[in-house]
Structure 1
Amino acid sequence: MELRVLKYFLTVAAEGNITRAADILHVTQPTLSRQLKELEDELGTALLIRGKRSVTLTDEGFLFRQQAETIVELADKLEHTFTDKKDIICGTVRIGATEAVGGRTLAVCMKEFREKYPGVQFELYNGMADNIKEMIEHGLLDLGLVMEPIDTAKFEYVRMPQKETWGILVRRDHQLAKKETVTAEDIKQYPLIMPGRENAKEQILHWMQCEERHLDIPAYYNILSNAALLVEAGMGCAVCLDGALSIHADPELCFRQIHPAHVTRSVILWKKNHLFSQAASLFVQTIQEH
């Protein structure tokens, strides 16, 4: 199985049309069709359902696409690592980040690093902490900015200085908007839009001293901007951090801190004993020094 053929398959899967994919790949349609058929024969299963004007993926095709994307991405990263110029620091540093006020410090570090090494580029991936950790473990990301609590057994990390406080995001016409702070008892009676991350959810339920089944939870979120739209629509109150909220200020909504205060921090982490590219290694040093 060749990397080139995996890229052929991914292009066809993205376009949903063999003719368009052939044009993008600069190969003839018969050549592309033959390569795909040989791939299916090699795997012993059908990956595509061929229609008159389009193609769709079989169940096996969807699974194969996920694995192929990972393989191609790792191959591209490996190629970039070894084709970097020896006399100039260049390459790509891949960073995953959750929504946190610690991201402002990270942004400053990135800007200063880019000014010193203009040949370096950054790729940013936004997601949940668990997804970011998994991508770091598989070599798809170099570093990650995530919120505590977090299991750091497999990682080196630096804790960010900013503190972030838990509270709820509500509409300005909501009853709780009239309070300066709210208690767990105050918010239990309302529909709550909760973080989908398991560690954060367990932490919230612990200080609320209740079980998940006793709450009205209309939705879970991993990106606060999505939760804010649900709050704006009147679906409920979002349990969130003020740091994440500062990135998504909305005049129609307001944040009320939970009393007593529950505070956390973000960390930047990377895989232990990991062999970085020169650019990523220097950026880790920059983070540590900062």
Structure 2
Amino acid sequence: MELRVLRYFMMIVQEKNISKAADRLHVSQPTVSRQLKDLEAELGTTLLDRGNRTIRLTADGEYFANQAKQILSLADKTLTNIHQDQDIGSVFVGSAEARSMLTVAQAIGHLNHQHPRVQVNLVSTDAAEIHQQLSSGVFDFGVVMEPVDKTDYDFLRLPGESRWGLLVQSRSALAQQATVSLDDVAHTKLILPQQGGSQRIHDLFGFTQADLDVAATYNLLYNASLLVTAGVGNALGLDGIINTNQTDLTFIPLKPRISSGASLVWLKGQHLSTAAQALLAEIQAILAPTQTHR
């Protein structure tokens, strides 16, 4: 299976039409059709349902497209870093939404000043995706919220903590309170973070899923804020992520105070690229002398 064929396949997926994919690839339609047929024969399955106007992925096609996307991403990153000179390379960082990202952001700024041609690619996502992409080699680093199992990772604790609270509509009765209690949380319709699932909610707040009235879940608080605006419920989340100025939303912190920190993680035993090593060195320099590499 060649990378070129995977690129053909992903272009077909993007365009949903073999002729349009061929035009984008600057090759003939028969060439693309033949490569697709050979790929399906090699895999022993049908990847696409071919309609008169558009094509659709089969269940196997959906799975293969996701895997092909990761393979191509990893291949592109690897080729870039192998062919780099002193100032060329790329780093991929998957990150939860957290104030602690400021340290990483400062390190990226320092790195860019020292090596202007190094590109840092930041992907905002949740812990499950970060773990998966670290394991597959797509991400070099992840920024994850505590508590989290770091058995398979080297890590650096990042400074700063974010306080938990409720994001509510400003016209709601809760918005008139300076703080909210756990009892308030238990008696409102909630939009919960997906990271860590029900176990993390229990560990942090003592609730079980049966204790709560859950309307929806989220992995990025910005999307959750839109649900709050639409009246779906109140979002349990961290402060400092959504700027509520000039909006109809209010963030109310929990009392007693419950906070979470974050850690930078990377796979144990992983050989980091020159660009990734340079970013790690900048982060360590910012954290020194208060922290050391774990």
> TM-score with structure 2 length normalisation?
0.92
The answer to whether 1:102 aligns with 2:100 is yes
The C-alpha deviation readout for 1:38-77, integer Å capped at 9, x for no partner, is: 1112222221222222222222211211221222222212
The answer to whether 1:148 aligns with 2:160 is no
Residue aligning to 1:50: 50
Residue aligning to 1:68: 68
Find the residue that maps to 1:46 and give its secondary structure.
coil
Structure 1 distance, partners of 2:50, 2:94, is 37
Residue aligning to 2:135: 137
Residue aligning to 1:81: 81
AA in 2 matched with 1:213: A
Residue aligning to 1:267: 263
Residue aligning to 2:202: 205
AA in 2 matched with 1:259: K
Check whether the contact 2:92–2:120 (CA below 8 A) recurs between aligned residues. Answer: yes
Match of 2:282 among 262, 286, 290: 286
AA in 1 matched with 2:213: D
Q: Deviation of residue 95 (structure 1)? A: 0.8
Q: Deviation of residue 202 (structure 1)? A: 2.8
Structure 2 distance, partners of 1:11, 1:118, is 31
Unaligned runs of 5+ in 2: 287-294
Number of corresponding residues? 286
Structure 2 distance, partners of 1:263, 1:136, is 26
Find the residue that maps to 2:49 and give its secondary structure.
strand
Q: Deviation of residue 250 (structure 1)? A: 5.5
Find the residue that maps to 1:11 and give its secondary structure.
helix
Match of 1:189 among 181, 187, 190: 187
The C-alpha deviation readout for 1:180-202, integer Å capped at 9, x for no partner, is: 11111122111011111125x43
Structure 2 distance, partners of 1:70, 1:179, is 46
AA in 2 matched with 1:29: Q
Q: Deviation of residue 208 (structure 1)? A: 4.2
Match of 2:173 among 171, 175, 180: 175
Identical aligned residues as a percent: 39
Match of 1:233 among 217, 230, 233: 230
Q: 1:209 to 1:283 in 2, by over 3 A?
A: closer
Cα RMSD of the aligned pairs, angstroms, is 1.6
Check whether the contact 1:163–1:265 (CA below 8 A) recurs between aligned residues. Answer: yes
The C-alpha deviation readout for 1:109-141, integer Å capped at 9, x for no partner, is: 111110110110111111001211221121100
Structure 2 distance, partners of 1:113, 1:91, is 12
Check whether the contact 2:81–2:88 (CA below 8 A) recurs between aligned residues. Answer: no
Structure 2 distance, partners of 1:276, 1:162, is 26
Q: Which moved more, 1:216-225 or 1:190-199?
A: 190-199
The C-alpha deviation readout for 1:205-253, integer Å capped at 9, x for no partner, is: 345443212311000011001111111122211111113235x655311
Unaligned runs of 5+ in 1: none
Structure 2 distance, partners of 1:244, 1:254, is 12
Structure 1 distance, partners of 2:227, 2:51, is 39
Superposed structure 1 runs of 4+ greater than 6 Å apart: none
Residue aligning to 1:117: 115
Check whether the contact 1:89–1:278 (CA below 8 A) recurs between aligned residues. Answer: no
Q: Which moved more, 1:206-215 or 1:76-85?
A: 206-215
Q: 1:48 to 1:203 in 2, by over 3 A?
A: closer
Q: 1:48 to 1:128 in 2, by over 3 A?
A: same
Structure 1 distance, partners of 2:204, 2:35, is 57
> TM-score with structure 1 length normalisation?
0.93
Residue aligning to 2:219: 222
Structure 1 distance, partners of 2:230, 2:81, is 46
Find the residue that maps to 2:242 and give its secondary structure.
helix
Q: Which moved more, 1:141-150 or 1:62-71?
A: 62-71
